[in-house]
Amino acid sequence: MRIDAHVHGDLSELAISPAEYAAACRTRAIERVVLIADPEPTLAAYEALPDFVVPVPWVDIDAVTPKEIHEHIDAGALGIKFIDPQFSYGDTRYDPLYRTVAERGKVAMFHTGYLGLGVFQQSRPTDITLMRPAAVDSLARRHRDLKILMAHFGNPWWEEAWKITWSNPKVYAELSGGTAYRRSLSMWREIFAPDGRLDEETFSKLLFASDVRVFVEPGTEGFEAYFDFYDRLFDGVGASEQLRERVNRGNAIELFGLG
């Protein structure tokens, strides 16, 4: 079984019952999903499927307040997704937000790297350099207790993402999205198992994740492409069964406190 640490979707679009959808996913080895959407639909999906949905609402980092973050967490959020900042993630003006998440013991998820055109569109231009893994390193040094999940492994700053994951005990990462699984396996082997020597400590901080849209017709989400990618990656670096289990579900259970 796997826990998909990065999906999007709105339960209101579902044509079958929520329970039927969750059951269909589990027959295909998706145990739970970390749902990322606006706060209201994210928490509504969690209320309907508390044993399937792990709610991580995304917020406007330049508008949200610590009070609102507390309210989202009080309503059930197990993490907060930050995306498309006006300033670098590492800018100290965001520290009150990060402190709030850390104090509540929840996960701060950061979109890192390229942001697709039209995604989380705002009135101002998007600057992907503000979302580099190096910016996550900057804030992680100040907030040592903050649990951090880097989405998309810093695409296209892959090597930088590896270094930040390797260097920071509380920084985890995932390889979701439309690009990572298209890169050659030789590139990933060189990052995680240079010269055939597996960097198990860093690799063990990855999470399975896809970035697919859920609550559509079962079987159309596209999970399978990511099953194939992660399995090829496991085989390519020589990951043990214990390590595969940790990436597929163990890290998500630990980070989000799923028990």
- Domain segments of the chain as ranges: 2-256
pLDDT at 120 > cutoff 80: no
Averaged over 129-150, what is the pLDDT?
98
CA distance 216 to 178: 18
Q: In what order do the strands lie in the sheet with 147-151?
A: 58-60, 79-83, 107-111, 147-151, 171-174, 206-207
Look at residue 125 in the predicted model and tell me its pLDDT.
85
What's 219's DSSP letter?
A: T
Domain spanning 2-256: CATH superfamily: Metal-dependent hydrolases (3.20.20.140)
Give me the percent of the chain exceeding a pLDDT of 70: 98
pLDDT at 67 > cutoff 80: yes
Least confident window among 152-156, 177-181, 253-257: 177-181
pTM, entire model: 0.96
Q: What is the mean pLDDT of the chain?
A: 96
Averaged over 115-119, what is the pLDDT?
77
- Report residue 119's pLDDT band, with 50, 70 and 90 as the boundaries: low
